[in-house]
Structure 1
Amino acid sequence: MRLCRYSQSLLTLLLSLVLSACVSTPVTHTPAVNITAHKQVHLPTADSLGYALTASQLIEASWHNGQQTRTEQLPVQLQVTKDKLVLAGFSSWGTRILSLEYQGDKVTSEVLAGLNNVLPAPEQVLFNLMITVWPVSAWEGPLSEVNWKIIETENSRSIYDDSGKEVINIQYSHEDKLSGKIIFHHLIDDYTITITTLQFQKTD
């Protein structure tokens, strides 16, 4: 995820909300996302999660900006059914500022007009959620297409590139990944994302 897009100026957000009450034109495309700045990977299917899920989560991104550490937060709602995934991101006061629908082999996303260069792309938010929560078996195929691999231990996951270098390290605080904090560290782009699930419901 490009960290500059997490850098959210409150003034910019307020001005954008005042100047535009509508969202940008929906963009539909095949589900491939950046795993690094120069490498893309296809997303696994929504139903490869293995169960239906409704979850409220808080995504907190931290990165270095010169001598300082910047941190931004994005509350999200995630809903996964048998054949569709819906994601929505909100401002701190509850306004929906980004949304995404993933069904079949298409992703349709929207970002509040004026915030495209301020917010992370919805597809990159989805990638972070899927790479941390979806089972390893769902990711093995997409990663093998680019000669990458994923290895999981009891409390962690590591994603390695085609040279065997670890690119992403993910740490879990609970055996049930949704019950504790998830720490995602991108070792190449040097940023950290903490995902806290505030509430969730699973169904078969």
Structure 2
Amino acid sequence: MLGSKMSKKVVTCLMLCFSLLLTGCAQTTDQQNNVQQENAQQKNAEQQNKVQLDDNAWVSLPQPADLGYTLTASQLLSVSYQDQAHQQQSQQLPIQLQVSQDKVVLAGFSSWGTRLLSLSYHDQQFDTYVMTGLSDQLPKPEQVLFNMMITLWPIEVWQTRLAPLGWQLTETQTSTGKTRVLLNSDQKTVAEIHYANIEPLKGDITFINHVLNFTIVIKTLQYQAALLDHHS
């Protein structure tokens, strides 16, 4: 009888220890999952206003107010590129661009007026839309926004964001216009931006991407701009 009672106590203790062990493991797993979720959320938050430059580099976009003025513009993007068969292709995309103190709204339309893509950039977050079935045929809206912002936003704003990555954006002026050159961390030219006029919105802008092998000509059809009041 004594041996039977001892055996029952031993079994009870083992079951209790096993239960505690399982509880501890479950708590540890829950804690690990929580940490992983928090890390994923933090990483996602950090990437929310970033655009990929290459396989290893992401750059945070400037704030809307960094442009220095509000802007409403109608533009025509003419894109030339080589397809997979190495045939030269070209497309046109009418664009509507609006920039306020805290928001950028960009929309691209078909020639018959249907919205093909759009993007809203506000509070360091993107809200994007691409027409169903066209995601493989159209550029990502945030990439269109990046091209637009690196073309129009002041060079000083970009230099502070690119420098930590080892990238550079240079600018030289000519008698009639200016040129910007985007260099990667190996000092290789990624893109060139040629302005027909010192004031970007008053002349054609030619954006040449040497890595992805495409050229965009941006023609501003009409625009309205007003300087921001930084004291408001």
Give TM-score, length-normalised by structure 2. 0.72
Distance 1:98 1:64 in 2: 22
Distance 1:50 1:150 in 2: 19
Instruction: Identify which range, 51-60 or 113-122, moves more after superposition.
Output: 113-122
Distance 1:118 1:64 in 2: 13
Once the two structures are superposed, the pairs formed by residues 1-204 of structure 1 within 5 Å of their partners are: 30-36=48-54, 39-65=57-83, 66-154=85-173, 155-204=178-227
1:38 CA drift (Å): 5.2
AA of the residue aligned to 2:156: S
1:68 CA drift (Å): 2.7
Moved over 6 A (4+): none
1:104 CA drift (Å): 1.6
Contact 1:36 1:189 in 2 (8 A): no
1:144 CA drift (Å): 1.4
1:188 CA drift (Å): 1.7
1:67 CA drift (Å): 4.8
1:71-107 Cα offsets, whole Å, 9 max, x none, are: 0111110000011111111011001111111112111
Greater relative contact order (Cα 8 A, min sep 6): structure 1 or 2? Answer: 1
Higher percent of residues as helix:
2
Distance 1:40 1:173 in 2: 29
Distance 1:171 1:99 in 2: 25
Match of 1:10? none
* Structure 2 gap ranges (5+): 1-44, 228-232
Higher percent of residues as strand:
1
Provide the secondary structure at the position in 1 that maps to 2:127: strand
1:56 CA drift (Å): 0.5
Q: How many residues align?
A: 177
AA of the residue aligned to 2:205: I
Match of 1:7? none
CA RMSD for the aligned pairs? 1.6
Instruction: Identify which range, 33-42 or 73-82, moves more after superposition.
Output: 33-42
Instruction: Flag the structure with larger Rg.
Output: 2
Match of 1:12? none
Distance 2:72 2:102 in 1: 14
1:116 CA drift (Å): 1.5
Provide the secondary structure at the position in 2 that maps to 1:139: helix
Match of 1:18? none
Contact 1:97 1:112 in 2 (8 A): yes
Provide the secondary structure at the position in 1 that maps to 2:144: helix
1:34 CA drift (Å): 2.5
